[in-house]
Amino acid sequence: MSKTVTVVGAGLAGCEAAWALANRGIAVRLVEMKPEHKSPAHHSDDFGELVCSNSLKAMRIDSAAGLLKAEMRQLGSLILQAAQETSVPAGGALAVDRALFSAYITEKIRSHPAISVEHARVEQIPDSPAIIATGPLTDGALAQAIAEKSGQDALSFFDAAAPIVTRESIDMDKAYLKSRYDRGDGDDYINCPMDEQTYTRFVTELLNAQTAPVHGFEENMLFEGCMPIESMARRGFQTLAFGPLKPIGLEDPRTGKMPFAVVQLRQDDASASMYNLVGFQTRLKFPEQKRVFSLIPGLENAQFVRYGVMHRNTYLRSPGFLNANYEVIACPGLYFAGQITGVEGYVESAASGLTAGIALAAALKGMPAPDFTAKTVIGGLGRYISAPHSRFDPMNANFSIVEPLPGRYKNKKLKYAAYAERSLAHISGMLLP
């Protein structure tokens, strides 16, 4: 194999893979189709663009999402470095200014002496060594080539993005600042409280609202992590009150009482001029979004700078095709990374690119393939996408994909702390390039 690696796609996974290789002395040719060509979900010309949300989920190390971040930081993650530098308040979560986040990644990639960037649309699978990180909207000739290579049809699901409103258009006489359980600075979210009557009217109108047609859409193809709010509401009238609108830990400081339901809005940019509706991914028609979401107390006169949208995502049947390091089993030196592999979520996507980059660097240096094992979250994701399943669905970071701990623990917090200690110790002891 030649020593220059082709990485296709400059999303989170591709940039993480390119960074991991370059920092280990491997020359990288990063090929990105933007700005000449963009998918329906893309708007920026920069690398590492965030589409669905600005949140990278929990920071707490006693959560699987938080532990995954800690593992990635220990492994030299570019994405976590960018997130740290461009973060905005979000309670116990890690959220970023989208534009600054992507600009930071773009500058780091373009200025790295071992990375050369080409702007072109790739239509065939490149020769090894290579990493394909073209994302969940891969289409055209490359998608066909991948299907032929894998001997299968790609599966599909639908991903939905939440609407964004301006901060100045939110009526703060009705809304209040508070993080759940006062995490973070205690006031990182804007909260719109609902009494039972308001909640009932909102859900009724939501259920009766018109949705935009999505070609090939099937309700059973939705992924749980990006379930449109109207689809969630159809599961039961109280579903939202126990889901994204749950009021627990969000007592109204003006009354000292817990509302029946609460709509949370999270800061979307560094200047705090825009906020997104947490959990409000949707495929409602735009006029219907304005009508129904304006029923939320505090949002009666909200100015929408972006309405919710929905798009189709595709992913491989990775079990039997990829190994735990995202390498094509039948084609050593060829790797995939990102949501196309069946990992779900921004950080998870980046983690797969980090894994693939480290693994390919090891191969090129004549070192053994790294085995993160299921003792780590990053390794658990790799094991999940490569292991046989009766039904293979996209997977977020969670402790169910991590090897169970021996013994019993008095409470979950102690148990999750033990997971973290074991995981980080395992990574520290690994022989990595």
Name the least confident of 51-60, 332-341, 364-373.
Answer: 51-60
Q: In order of start, what are the domains of the chain with their CATH numbers?
A: 4-154+316-428 (3.50.50.60), 161-310 (2.40.30.260)
Specify whether the CB–CB gap between 270 and 100 falls below 8 A. yes
pLDDT tens digits along 204-232: 999 999 988 654 444 555 555 678 899 99
Beta bridge partners of 96: 87
Check residue 216 and give its pLDDT: 44
pLDDT digits (tens, 9 = 90+) for 8-29: 999 999 999 999 999 999 999 9
**Average predicted confidence (pLDDT) for the chain:** 90
Q: What is the pLDDT of residue 355?
A: 98
For residue 225, what pLDDT is reported?
A: 61
pLDDT tens digits along 266-324: 998 788 888 999 999 998 999 999 999 999 999 999 999 888 877 777 889 899 999 99
Q: Enumerate residues 6+ apart whose C-beta is below 8 A from 244.
A: 229, 232, 264, 278, 279, 280
Q: At a CB cut-off of 8 Å and minimum separation 6, what does 180 contact?
A: 91, 92, 189, 248, 249, 250, 264
d(CA 342, CA 236): 29
Q: In what order do the strands lie in the sheet with 55-58?
A: 55-58, 93-96, 87-88
Q: For 352-409, give the secondary structure using H, E and C.
A: HHHHHHHHHHHHHCCCCCCCCCCCCHHHHHHHHHHCCCCCCCCECCCHHHCCCCCCCC
The larger pLDDT score, comparing residue 135 to residue 53, is at 135
User: What angle in degrees, to the nearest 10, is found between the helix axes of 64-74 and 377-386?
Assistant: 100
Give the pLDDT band (50/70/90) at residue 145.
confident
